[in-house]
Structure formats: structure tokens, C-alpha cells
Amino acid sequence: MQNKVYLVEQITKSRAPYRKSAPIYFLSPKEDSIDRLIQDWTPSKKRKEPLYADSVFLFFTSAVPDELFRKIKSCKPLVKRLSAFCEINIDFIPSQARAFHFSMNNPRYFAELYRNPVDEGESPVELMIADKLVTVCASLNEYPHIRYRASSRVSKSLARIFSRKFTEFIGKNSSWWYHGDAEHSDRGRGTLMILSRSDDCLSPLLHEFTYQAMVNDLLELDGDKITYKAQTSGTAADTGNANATMDQDALLNDNDELWVELRGKHIADVIQILSTRIRDIVNSNTAVALNAKSQQAKALTLSQMAKALKALPEYREVMGKLTQHMNISHQCMSIFKKTNLLDISDLEQTLATGKTDANKAMKLNDMLDLVEQQLKSIPDSLTRFRLLAIFIISQEGLKPSDHNRLVSYAKLSSSETKALNNLEVLGLPLEKSENRKSGSFGKEKLVQRRAVVDSGSEYSSSRYACDLKDILLKLREKSLSFDEYPSVFPMPDEGSSTGSTMVSGGVGSVRATSSKYSSKNNTRFSMAKSSNVAKKFSGARQMIFIAGGACFSELLAAEQMMEDGGSEVILGSTHFCNPEQFVEMLRYL
């Protein structure tokens, strides 16, 4: 509105003519979008005149392929009206500060990524991911060193394709600059680590109890929007029911400073912080707000908070946001208690780490009995699936007799059985040999994690730290193995001030030279949102990309690494997924 853009419409829908206004097109460079664009400016029997005024501004999220560029040029009515043609390299969504995704949450993409045979070469979904990654690095002015997990076919393939695509981008954009070149040496060249979801399938299945992870796991979200049950004094007064609620909507994104502050904290800490702040405000005028003595106002129910909110108008905005998050967090805790997640998570943590919270190694047979009992008592099919899958993955497969025993108690649906079996597609064995050494029966211990990293949490239900945290720690300490995580090109010496020089190669001219068709890059795009730009980082960036979906514990690991004094970490993925969405991806493999 500030820039006099009064109408936003989707090009995929029928639109009414608006000849008084010049259109700004913001499109993905795909054939369907280009066809609809041309249709807008091609006279037909139904419409003799164009839809809009005679100045057209074209903006594309990434580079337009040559064949589509020629298609645009062939539409003379459009070309003669062009006032701008820009490729702005922003074919990604910055979901929060220093985190991005490609909105590729369609299970079809996941299936294509992991079912692509090696001998078939580059798949369309790999090419799509590489193209989008180019726009991320172009926008951030990063010409990164590229590393990948050597044991992962997907990581290795994406690293190779991205390297080629980015070299092509540089060849077509001679004026583009990057951090670490001769004229921009304030920070070194970044590193892009390309990983695959198949590298760590435990993390997206575990119950996490940070605020953001719980909200995404236990509650219904539509993008950033959440609808929650709110208790208000008005509702209680109207109905005569102090426990009456009404549905309210909220957006959980970086514009909500309280959400940004709390999302990485354990749910118990979140409720404590919110309660303390609400109590401090209410107690400052308790007698007026609640007609109660100060001592009586210390423990407030949700309905009392709502009443206080109405009686303290000067604090209404602050209290509104506090009570909003109090309602949401209490909803999470209500489900937590109702579904007995404390006991379930204790089993999950023991399986994932190989030890109890008392640091005791458990016998496999004892754990089988405990998991069997829990499977019998869990009413929710998805929760049973998660517990069984965590057992199988953490133990690198179960003996056939143990596997069959637990599957019978899990009572999985046919689609869940398919999802479980599809773990093998990701390289995770479901069963292992039944052979036992003499005298070892009943004495086998749980498999313990090779990499033991402190999760940083004081809560026993959050002992496990995702594999990404170990990788980030070793990257910071410059101890990450080049055998396990090689680079596409040799990395520079540690003493180099700017990293390595640009790979030599012919630098082509930008395709369009006319001012009408000049190609531009959004070199000033900042990954940080307005509420998160205070912290300054020096040194080279660490960029992590996880193909196949990232989970919220990995997002937290990146944030914790920066809080502990590390360099800037930017985490990206094809999409961010909760446990249910990850299981859905497995079903479609």
C-alpha cells in the first residue's frame, strides 16, 4: 500500500480488466506462468484489449531458461510494452531469520529424490533444488566452498549439480560480487554443506519439547497461522461459564517478538516465563484488577488472566500477546499430559542415546519388554509408529523375531506398514542377523550413538542432540573429516584471508543488454527479518542445506551454535517438516 500497489491477484485465476493500472508480474520462470503471461497480452475473440495499462514490469524468481525467454520475445504485444525485465534470484522462502526453505513439501518430490536410480543421471527434482540453491547464494552474495556427505548419493549428486549451475550463473553475471573476493574481504567465503534427510532419520521422529517443535507436532497449523482456544472475560460473562472459550487466530512468525524469544525454549521454561511476566503486570494493580489481595493473585488461572486483561487497558497489548502464548503453550501441555508423552519420550530418549537418564546402558531384552508394554497402551497409531521406527533405526535393525514381535503389538495400518518398510529405501535396515555368540543371550546392550554431543538441555526428556549439532560443532572447530565430508574443489589453507580465488573459466556476457531487459540480482536481500537484525556476525558463513526436509531440532541446533559464539549459520531445506509430515513422505516412497 505504501508503494501504491492496491491490488494483488493470482495469475492462475480469471481476472477482471484494469486498464488504468500498470501490472507488476512476479513469476516463477515456468512454462505455465509464461503461457498465462502471454495470454494476458494476446488478443482473442473473448478479449480484444489487454487486461492492463501499457507498461509491463516483469520480475522472475530465478533465471529464465533460454527456451522460455525466446517464447516471451515472440509475443510482440508484450515486448513492445516492457518497461522492466528482471531476474531477482529469490526462489526460496525465508521462513525465519537465517532459515529458508523451497516449499517442496509435496511427497512426490521426496519420492523422486530418493528413488532416482544412480544410472539415470540427474533427476528433475535435483535440478530444481540446485537452481533454487543458486538463487539463495546469489542473494546472499556467497560463492561458497561446497561440501557434502560422501556416503550419501543424494548429497553427492546435488553438490555436483549445484557447482555446475553456480559456475553458469557466474558466467552470465560478470558484475556480481561475493564475500571473500578482493573487494569484499570483510568476511571470507562461506561454506555450503549439503546433507540428506536419510543421513539422520531419528531426529524428525522424536518428540521434542521446545515450544516451536511442540506447536508444530501437537497442534494444527496452516503455514504460520494457528487457531487456538482462548478464554476471555467477555465470553465468560456472556455465557456464565468461566471455562468458556472462543477460537482465535495468531501468526507465529518473526513479526511476533515473543514467539522469536520463546520458540527455542523448553515448554516448561516457556510457561514459567509467561506466568512470571503476567503475574508481574497484574500484581502491579491486582487490587483494582481482580479485587483480591496481593497474596491471592500470585497463582492466576487463564480466566483470571483474561479478567485482568480487561481491567488493565494500559497493558492490553502486552497482556494480549502474553495470554495468547499462554493459551497456546497450555494447549500443548494439555495434550502432553493427556497422551502420556513423558513416559513415551523417556523411552525414545533411551533408545536414541543408548542410555537412560542415569547414564546406564540398558539390556536390549529389557528395552523390548518396555517398548512392548508402551505399544499396548498407546491409543494413537502415529505415536506407535514413531516409537517402533525409533527403536528400529537406533538399533540399526532388529532381529526378525524381535521385529515381528513389536510389529504385531504396534498394529500399524497398511500405509504405516508401507512407511516403515520404506525406511530401507533410505538405506536403513529393518532386520539384522539372528545369530548370537555363545553365552550372549539376553545380555546384549542397546546400540549407543557414535557421536555424543551435549544437547544443552537440563531436562531428561531432551537428552538427545541431532546429528547436525555434531557436524556444526566440528565445522566450528575445523575438525570435520574431509574423508566423510569432502569438498567439490580443494578447500583453502586456514591462514588464507579471503578463502580461495574464484574458479577460472570463461565469463560470458549477461544475456540482455538493453535497459529494458537488463538482468539484475537482489544482492541486498537480507535473510534476517526486522526483529532479528541486532546481532552482528564476523567471519565466513556456514550454510547447511538438508535435502528431503529439516526438522525443528536442527533449526534449534543452528541457533544454539550461534548463541555459543560461533559464526553465522544459515539453515535451509526443501521444506521444514513435523513428524507426521515426515511419516507421510515415507509412505510415498
| The pLDDT of residue 232 | 60
CATH code matching the domain that covers 24-87, chosen among 3.40.50.2060, 3.30.450.20, 1.20.810.10, 3.40.605.10: 3.40.50.2060
**Comma-separated ranges of CATH 1.25.40.60 domains in the chain:** 341-426
- pLDDT confidence band for 513 (50 / 70 / 90): very low
Helices (H), 339-443: 341-353, 364-377, 381-394, 400-410, 414-421
Q: Which residues pair with 58 in a beta bridge?
A: 25, 85
Please give the model's pTM, rounded to 2 decimal places: 0.85
As a whole number, mean pLDDT of residues 8-27 equals 92
pLDDT at residue 237 tops 90:
no
pLDDT at residue 45 tops 90:
no
As a whole number, mean pLDDT of residues 455-480 equals 89
Supply the DSSP symbol for 458: S
**Comma-separated ranges of CATH 3.40.50.1910 domains in the chain:** 93-201+464-509+528-587
**Longest alpha-carbon distance in the chain:** 88
pLDDT at residue 172 tops 80:
yes
Closest by CA position to 191, among listed 573, 491, 559, 537: 491
Helix (H/G/I), strand (E/B), else coil: 437: coil
211-338 belongs to CATH 3.90.830.10? yes
| The pLDDT of residue 313 | 64
pLDDT at residue 308 tops 70:
no
| The pLDDT of residue 492 | 78
Compute φ and ψ for 93, nearest 5 degrees.
-120, 115
| The pLDDT of residue 436 | 53
pLDDT at residue 534 tops 70:
no
**Comma-separated ranges of CATH 3.90.830.10 domains in the chain:** 211-338
Residue 197: partners with Cβ closer than 8 Å, 6 or more residues away: 110, 204, 426, 546, 547, 548, 549, 550, 582
Query: How far, in Å, CA of 26 to CA of 36, rounded?
Result: 12
Pick from 14-28, 221-235, 514-528: least confident: 514-528
Pick from 11-25, 125-139, 149-163, 508-522: least confident: 508-522
CATH assignment, 341-426: 1.25.40.60
pLDDT at residue 515 tops 70:
no
CA 52 to chain centre: 38
| The pLDDT of residue 350 | 94
Please report the DSSP string for 183-227 in residue order: T--SS---EEEEEEGGG--STTTS---BHHHHHHHHS-EETTEEE
Query: How far, in Å, CA of 347 to CA of 332, rounded?
Result: 20
| The pLDDT of residue 23 | 94
| The pLDDT of residue 26 | 96
Cell numbers at residue 538, please? 564476523
Q: Among residues of the chain, what percentage have pLDDT more than 70?
A: 82
- pLDDT confidence band for 512 (50 / 70 / 90): very low
Placement of cell 497484574 in the chain: 282
| The pLDDT of residue 370 | 96
Query: How far, in Å, CA of 346 to CA of 368, rounded?
Result: 14
Looking at domain 93-201+464-509+528-587, which CATH architecture does it have? 3-Layer(aba) Sandwich (3.40)
| The pLDDT of residue 525 | 32
Query: How far, in Å, CA of 427 to CA of 423, rounded?
Result: 7
| The pLDDT of residue 419 | 97
Query: How far, in Å, CA of 84 to CA of 69, rounded?
Result: 14
Tell me the per-residue pLDDT of 373-386, one tens digit each, with 9 for 90 and over: 999 999 999 999 99
pLDDT at residue 83 tops 70:
yes
CA dihedral sign of residues 190, 191, 195, 199: negative
The overall average pLDDT reported for the chain is 85
Return the higher-pLDDT residue of 1 and 398: 398
| The pLDDT of residue 510 | 30
